[in-house]
Amino acid sequence: MKSTNRRPIQQMTLFRFEISTSAIARGALKALSGPGRKASALAACLFVAWMTMALSSVLMSSIPLVFAMWIVGPSLAERLRTWLMVRHVETRVTIATQGSEVLRAMGVDRATITEIISRTADGEEVRLGRFDQGNRVLSDIGSIPMFGDALIGGLEFQPRARQAVELVATTRGIAIKKSYSDSRSFFREVAALGRLSDVKSVPKIVRIDRQHRVLYQTFLVGRDLGSLMARAGFSVSAQHRLSCDYPGMGTWNSASSLQKRTIAVDTLHRVTNGTFARDMEALIESIHQSGVVIGDVKFGNVIITSDGVCLCDFDHARIFTRNTMSFILDRERDRDLCSYIFGSELFGDPHLSAAA
């Protein structure tokens, strides 16, 4: 009799196990393939829910599912908020620049400028050059004196992994055209630049092609700090290693890190003027006051122009509408990373004084 009563229960258990396997197990495997602790925690919650369902405990399985929703919820909310901001930004993009003036500032000869302006007047988009992984320029129009030693030939060009970055002339002027390989970076940068539209020293949005994940933004007429430092002897690969060696907020006062930083900071002082640290600090503070955390500060993202210091590349940025603990922690990490990269003058440097 006991065996007869147990059979329907076993069949129901097997049925529940089968219908839950396809969705939950696949979700767990997908989460496990993603980076970070949240992915692992989500996978663990989904796995526990899967097992408890298999053991006929529907009530118990709801507990890990609640935790899974708690893990996924904030990131989904952030993506939705970012998407809505991008839609809002699309409706108010009106930026245009004088192409001929920018080309003259770049040192392009008069005949080439005339040809480019004529072609853009007919609605053509003219590619002027492409930026490679090391921010070097492969020109499509011959000599561009402003880039100087950063100009390279086709065989030297190293494609970027995450975006294609081009310098183009359009009916709205000279712009940086960024084509993104992933939608998350695209939406983050568009939303960040939309939020920073009132901050002077960051690019402005010229045009958005959401269907193809292409963003046009104003070209900041100047040289990136990474190229200037490479020319002064601190190579792009050394800059990359310094950034990769950043161990985390408040934990970088080891001797090896300080030695690398000393070389970087000495080089930085040779290629910038005495107001760089003050200008950089003021710019980062204005970005933070707008509710944006940069997330990826490095030499190649800093542009030195005739008007001062500018910052570009916000595809790692996060936007906050409230002064939450997450915003405060991310903001402090921005500040600490800037002190690590750019030296003791920026935001102060307690690590150096502690080490001394």
Pairwise CA distance, residues 246 & 254, whole Å: 11
CB-facing half-sphere around the CA of 333: CA atoms within 13 A = 16
User: Which has the minimum average pLDDT: 34-38, 182-186, 247-251?
Assistant: 34-38
Please state the pTM of the whole predicted model: 0.72
pLDDT digits (tens, 9 = 90+) for 255-299: 445 677 888 889 999 999 888 988 999 999 999 999 999 988 899
Using alpha carbons only, give the angle 39, 41, 42 rounded to the nearest 5 degrees.
65
Backbone φ and ψ of 343, nearest 5°:
115, 180
pLDDT digits (tens, 9 = 90+) for 195-211: 998 999 999 999 888 88
The strand order across the sheet containing 308-311 reads: 222-224, 302-305, 308-311
pLDDT digits (tens, 9 = 90+) for 154-180: 899 999 988 999 999 998 899 999 999
Pairwise CA distance, residues 174 & 184, whole Å: 25
pLDDT digits (tens, 9 = 90+) for 75-89: 555 555 555 556 555
Backbone φ and ψ of 294, nearest 5°:
-70, -50
- Phi-psi region for residue 56, left (φ > 0), alpha (ψ -120 to 50) or beta? left
Report the pLDDT averaged over residues 177-199: 91
**Considering the chain, what is the average pLDDT of its residues?**
78
- How sure is the predictor about 248, in pLDDT bands with cuts at 50, 70 and 90? confident
- How sure is the predictor about 350, in pLDDT bands with cuts at 50, 70 and 90? very low
What is the per-residue pLDDT for 354?
Answer: 41
Using alpha carbons only, give the angle 143, 147, 152 rounded to the nearest 5 degrees.
70
